[in-house]
């Protein structure tokens, strides 16, 4: 990463008359006159005018102010920032897949459909589910789809009273937000001091209005919900379904399957567990799986294998759910995930979970004397510190996070989960070497020492990044969200 | 031997377990009840070498047909300049996540700011969010935004001339979100103003969704529609195709409150359905009702102009079930695609690409009509690069014959009606080849 701040906008490089691309000319006659003047735009869109070399240099310089997994350690809790294999990129870009139109007849895309079908089955095996749809575009979209499946199931039984979704207080914000979009009411259930769901607090919430309970397991504190089986039994007895938020599936690879725990519906974040790049925020992919008996509630379109071995795309689920996407989803992302699963195979997948868990516990055990460990037990792929152990220095979790940037590390997730005031949530993933972990541990220890001896240097961090701390409050008070806003603000 | 994505040697594992007071990896899972543990292996193949993976996908790829594409229906085969995959493959962009730490994420934040700026100007709107999943979900979000902005109303009208694959998704969201979705009737391929006015007069409409161009490729005239909506206190929402905006009247010029749609037409590879990018732009007065991420300019402690995620109080990680949407990410890398594409083409290039489609489509339509076997479904209606035709023959028969000739002739929308699209990717010879194939059906 370049420590010099680049900071220019492409508009500031624009000069009238320049152009960065060439296009073919099909030599057909000008048909502009066929469009009535009232349907044409009157002002040009004022896009930048830039030559090709300038475009390439601009975005290259911009990228140098960015930090990715390929740059360095990225222990962002609950985001599973593992290595993104390069062969996957090559396969996703293959023209034999990249040039296919989504409405192309199934007979002309048999290879593409076989890839979809193969991934769908691999995920069903890994999740312990009966069938998956790969259509949802991201984890939150998967949650929404899963909740729609659950509502469709209840409605198909003529049970219209079930409008409540139970969500633990440790859940990701997307859980309650997805429930609200799906038209369901959210009821929060408290966690015990050990970070797991309070079963006694859950009991009185279970009645005939419960549509589902959503759980992340291991939960956002990295703790395996050992009571999961009992919780599933209780919710099932009340007539509700269990939803597994797959955000934290990674440590379960090779060790346990949501279907075997008693979950009915789940999603998987391919960009977490199955190594597809996060792309600065997307595209992701959030396939949804269901147990046997719920398959008919999955959204259209669906891929099926016919008796003769050929593949078809069907859109026949009628009113069961409908569609949550126009196409079969972020297909390019799906190809990457399939390549990853094929590379690891059953043996490699079996190691991924335990090594992710080993890396997390190794960091936890190496720092617990200096950072406050509110949940003192074996964690899974991630764990949470409640800030520095020594609270007298005034150094906050935000300060520690910013100081880490000075040493070439991305910060952990901060101030989440909401269970603790100074949450510092660390997820190393299985693709980090012990040497990297040791360097991170040494830095975290050095920061703790600085906090005691020279707290100002931590509180004013970062010092070596392209920019220093930005003013978030000013940004929100007076939103400047386009270049036109910027020009207006300068005038 | 350990897989090459994992750095751990057997010695590493033992040393690290020792720090945790353990001897075996299994002890890390002692808290997982034995009856929940996976017994044995997954029923999956053993791991394969990189060469074997490449061979596997080459084989699958060989079972897909590469066709000259006249199919559109919302997804268009445009040229992708080579600069784009090159920039997108820069791992500082590709392997980053949401820019939570602005000090080391200015690259992502800056291109999102550029994206918001370009999409606002292209659509003629004041603000844009950082992008959504795709055009259909962006339209569903626009519907929910209209309902939320109205506070008390729960009814939204959608033109029946909006792409049915978008309408299906919007209808699903509506059903679960408790929105009453009604259609605006069409006649001769265009939405009926009378029907709009009659439904608005009922006084309960929160928003109205129309398409420009519509599903049949027709440019409908929405003069007066925004005023009609505003008089009835409803938001006017225009779903549009960005590649066409170099030429056609923008949602902003129609007086729209929200513009939405899919930006796939900006040179994104078809990729059998994704990843694409949904965009959502709006009037500034609606900024705090917008779903999804947004980037704003500010200054850092040293006075540099910098960029940050802003207005996060709308979002799920703060507001949970009261958030404007459940969306957590955006379509980051595809937003980068969009800004690089628009920077390379500029206003003139975008216009030139749109002109190729416009001219080509009119040439092809007239050649196909001249066969005497096909007629325009909606004669006299203006279109840019896509049009519907009625056929004397079964579209399935043409499709079969065309595939034999390496052509994807279009998208069947009825047994004897087809949608055909032209972009800068098809040559005049390609178009003539399609016409010749149609003629072969005579015999």
What does the angle CA A289 – CA A291 – CA A294 come to, to the nearest 5 degrees?
90
Taking only Cα atoms into account, the Rg of chain B, rounded to an integer number of angstroms, comes to 26
Query: Chain A, 193-222: which have a CB under 8 Å from a chain B CB?
Result: none
The pLDDT value given to residue A404: 98
Between A70, A94, A349, which is nearest B95 by CB? A70
B289 and B183 in a common domain: yes
Chosen domain end from B279, B307, B340: B340
Q: How many angstroms separate the CA atoms of A475 and A249, rounded?
A: 36
Chosen domain end from B306, B340, B374: B340
Total structural domains in chain B?
A: 2
B312 and B411 in a common domain: no
Q: How many angstroms separate the CA atoms of A298 and A316, rounded?
A: 11
How far is the first Cα of chain B from the last one, in angstroms, to the nearest whole number? 64
B250 and B358 in a common domain: no
Chain A contact present for B270, CB below 8 A: yes
Query: Chain A, 226-255: which have a CB under 8 Å from a chain B CB?
Result: 226, 228-229, 254-255
Residue B116 near residue B295, CB atoms below 8 Å: yes
> How do residues B47-89 score in pLDDT, each as one tens digit?
999 999 999 999 999 999 999 999 999 999 999 999 999 999 9
B87 and B75 in a common domain: no
Average pLDDT over residues B116-122: 98
CA atoms within 13 A on the CB side of B309: 24
Q: Which of A200, A166, A172 is nearest to A185 (CA)?
A: A166
What percent of chain B has a predicted confidence (pLDDT) above 90? 94
- What ipTM was assigned to the predicted interfaces of this complex? 0.97
Architecture of the domain delimited by A87-342: 3-Layer(aba) Sandwich (3.40)
Chain A residues touching residue B315 (CB < 8 angstroms): 173
> How do residues B327-383 score in pLDDT, each as one tens digit?
888 899 999 999 999 999 999 999 999 999 999 999 999 999 999 999 999 999 999
> How do residues A218-231 score in pLDDT, each as one tens digit?
999 999 999 999 99
Chosen domain end from B340, B367, B384: B340
B14 within a domain of the structure (yes/no): no
Nearest Cα of chain B lies from the Cα of A452 at a distance, in angstroms, of 24
A55's CB contacts (< 8 A; 6+ apart) are A10, A20, B83, B340, B343, B344
| Domain boundaries of chain A, sorted by first residue | 10-63, 87-342, 353-473
B298 and B221 in a common domain: yes
pLDDT band at B443 (very low <50, low <70, confident <90, very high): low
Q: How many angstroms separate the CA atoms of B314 and B293, rounded?
A: 9
> How do residues A268-285 score in pLDDT, each as one tens digit?
999 999 999 999 999 999
B361 and B214 in a common domain: no
pLDDT band at A319 (very low <50, low <70, confident <90, very high): low
Q: How many angstroms separate the CA atoms of B403 and B296, rounded?
A: 49
Q: Assess if CATH 3.30.365.10 describes domain A353-473.
A: no
User: Which range is least confidently modeled, A58-67, A300-309, B274-283, B327-336?
Assistant: B327-336
Average pLDDT over residues A457-486: 96
B334 and B388 in a common domain: no
- Decide: helix, strand or coil at residue B207: strand
Q: Note whether B321 contacts A179, CB cutoff 8 Å.
A: yes
Chain B contact present for A270, CB below 8 A: no
Chain B contact present for A224, CB below 8 A: yes
* B442 or A399, which is more confident: A399
Residue A343 near residue B53, CB atoms below 8 Å: yes
B223 within a domain of the structure (yes/no): yes
Chain A residues touching residue B379 (CB < 8 angstroms): none
Chain A residues touching residue B245 (CB < 8 angstroms): 41, 45
The neighbouring-strand residues paired with A265 are A243, A290
Residue B239 near residue B139, CB atoms below 8 Å: yes
pTM given for the model: 0.97
B163 within a domain of the structure (yes/no): yes
B95 and B75 in a common domain: no
B202 and B113 in a common domain: yes
Chain B contact present for A325, CB below 8 A: yes
Q: Which helix (H) or strand (E) holds B142?
A: helix B135-150
pLDDT band at B283 (very low <50, low <70, confident <90, very high): very high
Q: CATH number of the domain at B394, please.
A: 3.90.1150.10
Nearest Cα of chain A lies from the Cα of B433 at a distance, in angstroms, of 14
B379 and B294 in a common domain: no
Average pLDDT over residues A461-489: 95
Burial state string for A16-47 with b = 16 or more CB within 10 A and e = fewer than 16 = eebbbbebeebebeebeeebeeebebeeebbb
pLDDT band at B325 (very low <50, low <70, confident <90, very high): confident
A485's CB contacts (< 8 A; 6+ apart) are A479, B297
Where in the sequence is the domain holding B257, given as residue range(s)? 83-340
The pLDDT value given to residue A316: 80
What is the number of H-type helices and E-type strands within chain B?
14, 17
B373 within a domain of the structure (yes/no): yes
Q: CATH number of the domain at B265, please.
A: 3.40.640.10
- Whether the per-residue pLDDT at A318 is higher than 80: the answer is no
B268 and B131 in a common domain: yes
Chain B residues touching residue A102 (CB < 8 angstroms): 75, 270, 272-274
A158's CB contacts (< 8 A; 6+ apart) are none
* CA A348 to the chain's CA centroid: 22
Q: How many angstroms separate the CA atoms of B344 and A431, rounded?
A: 37
């Amino acid at each position: 990463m370049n420590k010099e701040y680049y900071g220019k906008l492409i508009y500031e490089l624009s000069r009238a008359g320049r152009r960065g691309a060439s296009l073919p000319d099909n030599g057909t006659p000008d048909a502009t006159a066929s469009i009535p003047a009232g349907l044409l735009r009157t002002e040009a869109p004022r896009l930048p005018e830039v030559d090709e070399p300038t475009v390439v240099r601009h975005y290259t310089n911009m990228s140098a102010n960015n930090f990715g997994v390929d740059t360095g350690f990225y222990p962002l809790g609950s985001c599973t920032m593992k290595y993104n294999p390069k062969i996957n990129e090559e396969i996703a870009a293959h023209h034999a897949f990249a040039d296919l139109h989504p409405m192309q007849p199934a007979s002309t895309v048999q290879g593409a459909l076989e890839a979809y079908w193969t991934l769908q089955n691999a995920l069903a095996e890994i999740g312990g589910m009966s069938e998956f749809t790969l259509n949802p575009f991201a984890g939150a979209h998967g949650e929404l789809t899963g909740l729609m499946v659950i509502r469709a199931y209840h409605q198909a039984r003529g049970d219209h009273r079930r409008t409540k979704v139970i969500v633990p207080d440790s859940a990701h914000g997307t859980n309650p937000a997805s429930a609200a979009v799906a038209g369901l009411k959210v009821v929060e259930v408290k966690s015990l001091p050990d970070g797991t769901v309070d079963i006694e607090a859950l009991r009185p919430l279970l009645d005939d209005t419960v549509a589902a309970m959503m759980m992340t397991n291991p939960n956002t504190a990295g703790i395996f919900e050992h009571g999961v089986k009992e919780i599933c039994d209780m919710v099932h007895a009340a007539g509700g379904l269990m939803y597994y938020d797959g955000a934290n599936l990674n440590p379960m690879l090779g060790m346990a399957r949501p279907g075997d725990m008693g979950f009915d519906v789940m999603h998987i974040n391919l960009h977490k567990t199955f190594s597809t790049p996060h792309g600065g925020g997307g595209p992701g992919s959030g396939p949804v799986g269901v147990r046997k008996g719920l398959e008919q509630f999955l959204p259209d379109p669906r891929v099926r294998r016919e008796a003769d071995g050929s593949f078809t795309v069907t859109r026949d689920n009628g009113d069961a759910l409908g569609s949550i996407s126009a196409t079969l989803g972020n297909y390019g992302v799906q190809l990457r995930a399939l390549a990853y699963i094929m590379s690891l195979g059953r043996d490699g997948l079996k190691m991924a979970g335990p090594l992710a868990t080993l890396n997390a516990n190794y960091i936890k055990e190496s720092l617990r004397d200096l950072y406050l460990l509110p949940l003192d037990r074996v964690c899974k792929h991630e764990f949470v510190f409640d800030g520095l152990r020594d609270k007298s220095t005034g150094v906050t979790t935000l300060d520690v996070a910013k100081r880490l940037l000075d040493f070439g590390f991305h910060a952990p997730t901060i101030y989440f989960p909401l269970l603790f005031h100074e949450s510092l949530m660390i997820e190393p993933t299985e693709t980090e070497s012990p040497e990297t972990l040791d360097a991170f541990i040494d830095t975290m220890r050095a920061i703790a020492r600085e906090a005691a001896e020279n707290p100002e240097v931590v509180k004013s961090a970062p010092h070596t990044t392209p920019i220093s701390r930005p003013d978030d409050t000013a940004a929100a008070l007076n939103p400047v969200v386009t270049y036109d806003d910027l020009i207006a603000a300068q005038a | 031997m350990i897989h090459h994505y994992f750095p751990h040697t057997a010695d590493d594992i033992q040393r690290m377990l020792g720090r945790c007071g353990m001897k075996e990896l299994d002890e890390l899972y002692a808290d997982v009840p034995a009856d929940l543990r996976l017994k044995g292996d997954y029923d999956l193949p053993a791991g394969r070498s990189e060469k074997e993976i490449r061979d596997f996908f080459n084989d699958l790829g060989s079972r897909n047909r590469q066709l000259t594409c006249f199919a559109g229906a919302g997804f268009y085969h445009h040229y992708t300049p080579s600069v784009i995959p090159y920039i997108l493959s820069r791992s500082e962009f590709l392997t980053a996540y949401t820019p939570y730490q602005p000090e080391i994420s200015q690259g992502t934040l800056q291109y999102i700011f550029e994206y918001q700026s370009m999409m606002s100007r292209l659509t003629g709107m004041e603000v844009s969010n950082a992008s959504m999943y795709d055009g259909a979900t962006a339209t569903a979000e626009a519907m929910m935004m209209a309902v939320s902005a109205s506070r008390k109303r729960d009814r939204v009208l959608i033109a029946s001339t909006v792409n049915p694959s978008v309408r299906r998704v919007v209808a699903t969201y509506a059903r679960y979100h408790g929105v009453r979705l009604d259609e605006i009737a069409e006649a001769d391929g265009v939405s009926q103003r009378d029907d709009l006015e009659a439904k608005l007069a009922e006084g309960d409409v929160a928003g109205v969704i129309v398409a420009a161009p519509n599903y049949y490729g027709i440019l409908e005239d929405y003069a007066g529609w925004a005023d009609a909506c505003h008089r009835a206190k409803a938001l006017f929402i225009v779903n549009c195709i960005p590649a066409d905006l170099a030429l056609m009247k923008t949602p902003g010029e129609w007086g729209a409150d929200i513009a939405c749609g899919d930006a796939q037409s900006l040179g994104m590879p078809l990729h059998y359905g994704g990843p694409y990018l949904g965009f959502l732009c709006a009037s500034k007065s609606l900024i705090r009702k917008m779903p999804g991420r947004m980037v704003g300019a500010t200054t850092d402690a040293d006075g540099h102009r910098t960029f940050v995620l802003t207005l996060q109080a709308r979002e799920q990680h703060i507001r949970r079930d009261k958030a404007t949407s459940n969306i957590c990410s955006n379509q980051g890398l595809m937003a980068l695609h969009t800004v690089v594409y628009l920077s390379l083409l500029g206003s003139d290039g975008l216009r030139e690409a749109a002109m190729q489609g416009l001219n080509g489509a009119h040439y092809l339509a007239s050649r196909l009509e001249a066969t005497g076997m096909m007629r325009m479904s909606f004669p006299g209606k203006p279109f840019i690069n896509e049009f519907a035709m009625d056929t004397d023959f079964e579209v399935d028969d043409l499709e079969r014959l065309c595939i034999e000739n390496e052509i994807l002739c279009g998208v069947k929308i009825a047994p004897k009606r087809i949608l055909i699209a032209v972009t800068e990717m098809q040559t005049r010879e390609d178009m003539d080849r399609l016409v010749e194939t149609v003629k072969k059906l005579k015999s």
